[in-house]
Structure 1
């Protein structure tokens, strides 16, 4: 198993475990134990440093685990959306790799779809008023 695969297995397990009630309860217990131990250590700088160092290290590592999980989830969702677009008869297949476009291309595409939405809303409003306007297009090429 590659290092990448091992990290993925670890990240999945860690994100599942840290996201459950038991992990939260354990974190609360650690904080309570730290608070209760304050008088024994005279609320010293070392006592404060223990919790500060521990929480800083955990937070630092969790950033990478959370980002890994988020990246995986986003990629899986993107693949599912791509499949829905591909399998939908009248869908615009040019949208399949939309996430790969640069910001200017995304802005142009968004404007096209904003215009399609505006035309569709105008059509609905006109129908509700009993008049007709141009029929809204069904895809980005219309």
Structure 2
């Protein structure tokens, strides 16, 4: 509907060109109008994006809360400072490095238990490679 209204305004403006002899005032009307509409649309789009962002954050928080293995420290991280987010990113980079070194692609860790599970898996592998066939992951 907004597109239709905008198109109608532009067509009317274009048709009135010969009536106003394509004057500077005639051109100024459309320039001013489009500038005002653009200015207002920026705020409208930003409000819509903020609402979408909040909805996504809430959905992610629900997934974190529902997952037994997820770290609850991830809930509401959008309130952290840039430096705190960088620290978390480093933790996740380390977690990714550990997962990359792991041969089992189905293994998943949270920050809180990643190192403990990684050490456990290593010790189990060492036990198996040393001839201990009774222990399993």
TM-score (structure 1 length as normaliser): 0.70
Q: Unpaired runs of 5+ in structure 2?
A: 115-137
Larger relative contact order, structure 1 or 2 (CA cutoff 8 Å, min sep 6): 1
Shift of 1:49: 0.9
Number of corresponding residues: 113
Shift of 1:28: 2.2
Q: Which has the larger radius of gyration?
A: 2
Q: Unpaired runs of 5+ in structure 1?
A: 1-21, 129-135
Cross-structure match for 1:73: 52
TM-score (structure 2 length as normaliser): 0.72
Shift of 1:24: 1.6
Misfit runs of 4+, over 2 Å? none
- What is the CA RMSD across the aligned residues, in angstroms? 2.1
| Per-residue deviation, residues 75-128 of structure 1 (Å, max 9, x unmatched) | 12211111110111100100001101000110110111122112212224xx69
Matched, 1:97 2:76: yes
Cross-structure match for 2:39: 60
Match of 2:93 among 106, 114, 120: 114
